[in-house]
Copies of this chain bind each other. A is one copy, B any other.
């Protein structure tokens, strides 16, 4: 049983508790001989200090809270992997919170900073409301957003408007005029990228003089299956699109499955472009807009660690690049009549 306390150690080593504490914390103000005595007492008693007591007396948790929505989403997982890679070699523990239901958002976003559960917070793919932000600053816990934006908070993200533009423009350059957009719900307040990419999509259309057609945009919950459904509807329209821009690679997979189901060939009958460049996109040779998912986690975690060391008054912003990766699901549009 590790009921041994610092006082037991002190008694056994014949020193005061303060000295034991100093040894535990590598304070230089301990003579070598005393340090030795304490150390051997520690070993003899198989003592190791209670984290809880340490946290309380130091007023620090030595933990970083990571809040993630829909932990099953591959791009979220990839970002988290980046975060883990940084934190697992830091001295901080990583406490993971997964938000699956809407009502969890509020309670988490409010109670976690309040209760001083963590010395720092990382929000992944979660755009906080102004009210949330107020809670954060009230609690005075350093916070970094990864793949989300708020003017008052530090963040790491990509330019999603540019990314949406890039994807759509590529399809246009391939000769497509009838381009669908398959996405999550646009009005999800916590998901700003979905709106930004949509904006980029419309910008590219407008720039090319192509009129936006409302029936070419479908929205639903995120997921491969939902994307498949939506695509089915899109492709059975009287005048179906010849290319589809999917908000995510996961959805692009659903799009491709729907096309196959209808006997259409990708890319010959339908061009498909995704977004994220998750691993599966590589296996399946999906043309996509790459964003550095893992890297975003790394940078977010590093930014947070540095801010915990030395806070800045201005919110820090890191903008990562996006990059078009042309693979095998997109091709030149050949006019039906030729």
Q: What residues of chain A have their CB less than 8 Å away from a CB belonging to chain B?
A: 1-2, 46, 48-53, 55-56, 59, 61, 63, 71-72, 74, 77, 81, 84-85, 88, 93-100, 104, 111, 114-117, 138-140, 253, 279-280, 283-284
How far apart are A114's CB and chain B's nearest CB, in angstroms?
A: 4
Report the minimum CB–CB distance from A69 to chain B (whole Å).
Answer: 11
Contact, CB under 8 Å: A98 / B71: no
Identical chains bound together, number: 2
Contact assessment for A95 and B98 in the assembled complex, using a CB-CB cutoff below 8 Å: no
A253 to B282, CA, bound (A): 11
Chain B residue nearest to A113 (CB atoms) is B2
Question: Are B114 and A48 in contact (CB-based, < 8 A)?
Answer: yes
| Known contacts A55-B56, A85-B98, A93-B95; 15 further A-B pairs (Cβ under 8 A) | A1-B140, A48-B111, A48-B114, A50-B56, A50-B116, A51-B115, A52-B52, A63-B95, A72-B81, A88-B104, A95-B95, A95-B96, A253-B283, A279-B280, A280-B280
Would you give the shortest CB distance from A180 to chain B, in whole angstroms? 22
Q: A48-B111, A253-B283 are in contact. Are A117 and B96 (CB under 8 A)?
A: no
CA–CA, A19 and B99, complex, Å: 33
